[in-house]
């Protein structure tokens, strides 16, 4: 399932359109597509925990929710929050790469929402290039991060987080 | 809310202070005279323009900067209190208060900080030795809430780099360094850092420009 990579390539291609005087609508699309590349990357990694059958994974992917991923990302960006605190106490290490993935997801999601809905904001090509670059960095960081146990816990938190409580 | 009150008072005063040029299409109206009247307008020269100032609210500023601001506010207030409330300020009073008020307005940097909380966080961040001061030409701050209703600080950093590759390398580094500092000092605000080239300031399109 190559949609994350293809979306990332698409974000880069959109950015390359009208290099001299890019249209705002193109720049907005590039930001949004860069975010979706990252969302698909993490969402599809999540589905791999259950199945490697593409049809099953596609079905599970439908259940991955942007807000749930954001909540997990926020927790893993801040070691002071209770859930990562509990994991850390059990010896789970949130690697620097996973930390970058989590932080960047939140930044890209915010950027995407503004790009799609806030028409009072204008973008410059360099500004959008930095967002696409950030998404590309997420792909690189994730390739490293996913080898550590904390990455699976991060993915699991897309759904476990809502059920988890410090008192349980 | 004292910092908020002071911020708002000075901001309002700054608007009253801004010199206005009189333009009229009436041949009977002497615009030079009106200009002179407005130049002497002293609405900004009132104690309420620095209302709410408390040095304690500026504990995040370096001590010498805070002391200077306190002295400017005190002296401005002193002059403003001497102005006859039924008359106009004298030229001497205006001449004495003008540089003080200008200093106060410049200290708050309304062009870079959209609100007092942004000022507090921005000033603290920029005082941190890890802040990438040498890699940015301008940084602007604005408090906001994101689409989920969570508090965020939006930071726009301008990097003086025109070559694409070099800009992107620098941008990633600047983003990370600013974010790390604001994570420490700016709780509960999430720092969203956007990066632009310094040259973007001249090329930034107006809203709806290419629609």
Contact B43, B80 (CB under 8 A): no
Question: Which residue shows structure tokens 């979706």?
Answer: A36
pLDDT higher than threshold 70 for residue B46: yes
Q: How many CB atoms lie within 10 A of CB A39?
A: 22
Provide, as residue numbers in chain A, all residues whose Cβ is less than 8 Å from the Cβ of B148: 67, 70
Per-residue confidence at B15, pLDDT binned at 50, 70, 90?
A: confident
Q: What are φ and ψ of residue B197, in 5° steps? A: -80, 150
Q: How many CB atoms lie within 10 A of CB A122?
A: 16
Chain A residues with a Cβ under 8 Å from any Cβ in chain B: 21, 23-25, 67, 70, 74, 78, 103, 106-107, 110-111, 113, 117, 119-120, 122, 124, 126-127, 129-130, 133-134, 137
> Looking at the predicted complex, does its ipTM rise above 0.85?
yes
- Beta strands B190-197 and B138-145 are unpaired
pLDDT in tens, B54-96: 999 999 999 999 999 999 999 999 999 999 888 888 999 999 9
Where chain A has pLDDT below 70, the residues are 79-84, 163-168
Contact B167, B161 (CB under 8 A): yes
Provide, as residue numbers in chain A, all residues whose Cβ is less than 8 Å from the Cβ of B160: none
How far, in Å, CA of A145 to CA of B14, rounded?
51
- Beta strands B151-159 and B138-145 are antiparallel
For position A96, what pLDDT does the model report?
92
Higher per-residue pLDDT: A164 or B3: B3
Secondary structure (3-state) at A81: coil
Inter-CA distances, A54 with A2, A121, A157, B83, Å:
11, 38, 22, 80
Q: Is B197 on the interface with A (CB under 8 A)?
A: yes
Contact B44, B101 (CB under 8 A): yes
For position B38, what pLDDT does the model report?
55
Judged by CB atoms closer than 8 Å, whether chains meet at A122 and B179 is answered as no
Between chain A and chain B, the number of residue pairs with CB atoms below 8 A apart is: 65
Q: Which helix (H) or strand (E) covers residue B153, if one does?
A: strand B151-159
Mean pLDDT of B171-191: 93
Among A38-42, A63-67, B151-155, B200-204, which stretch is predicted with the lowest mean pLDDT?
A: B200-204
């Amino acid at each position: 399932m190559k949609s994350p990579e293809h979306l990332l390539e698409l974000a880069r291609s959109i950015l390359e359109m009208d290099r001299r005087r890019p249209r705002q609508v193109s720049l907005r699309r590039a930001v949004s597509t860069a975010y979706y590349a990252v969302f698909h990357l993490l969402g599809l990694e999540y589905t791999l925990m259950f199945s490697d059958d593409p049809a099953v994974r596609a079905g599970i992917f439908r259940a991955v929710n942007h807000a749930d991923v954001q909540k997990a990302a926020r927790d893993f960006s801040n070691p002071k929050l209770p859930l990562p605190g509990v994991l850390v106490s059990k010896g789970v290490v949130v690697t620097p790469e996973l930390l970058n993935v989590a932080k960047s997801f939140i930044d890209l999601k915010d950027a995407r929402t503004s790009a799609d809905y806030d028409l009072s904001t204008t973008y410059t090509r360099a500004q959008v290039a930095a967002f696409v670059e950030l998404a590309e960095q997420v792909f690189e960081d994730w390739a490293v991060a996913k080898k550590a146990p904390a990455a699976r816990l991060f993915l699991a938190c897309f759904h476990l987080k809502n059920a988890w409580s410090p008192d349980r | 809310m004292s910092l908020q009150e002071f911020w708002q008072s000075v901001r309002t005063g700054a608007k009253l202070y801004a010199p206005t040029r009189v333009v009229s299409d009436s041949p009977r109206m002497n615009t030079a005279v009106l200009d002179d009247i407005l130049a002497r307008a002293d609405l900004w020269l009132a104690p309420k323009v620095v209302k709410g100032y408390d040095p304690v609210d500026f504990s995040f500023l370096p001590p010498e900067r805070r002391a200077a601001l306190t002295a400017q506010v005190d002296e401005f207030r002193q002059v403003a209190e001497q102005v006859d409330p039924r008359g106009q300020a004298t030229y001497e009073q205006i001449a004495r208060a003008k540089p003080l008020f200008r200093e106060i307005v410049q200290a708050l940097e309304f062009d870079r900080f959209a609100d007092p909380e942004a000022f507090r966080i921005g000033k603290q961040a920029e005082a941190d030795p890890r802040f990438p001061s040498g890699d940015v030409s301008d940084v602007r701050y604005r408090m906001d809430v994101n689409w989920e209703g969570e508090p965020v600080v939006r930071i726009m950093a301008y990097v003086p780099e025109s070559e694409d590759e070099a800009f992107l390398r620098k941008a990633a580094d600047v983003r990370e360094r600013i974010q790390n500092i604001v994570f420490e000092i700016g709780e509960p605000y999430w720092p969203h850092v956007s990066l632009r080239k310094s040259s973007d300031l001249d090329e930034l399109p107006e809203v709806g420009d290419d629609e």
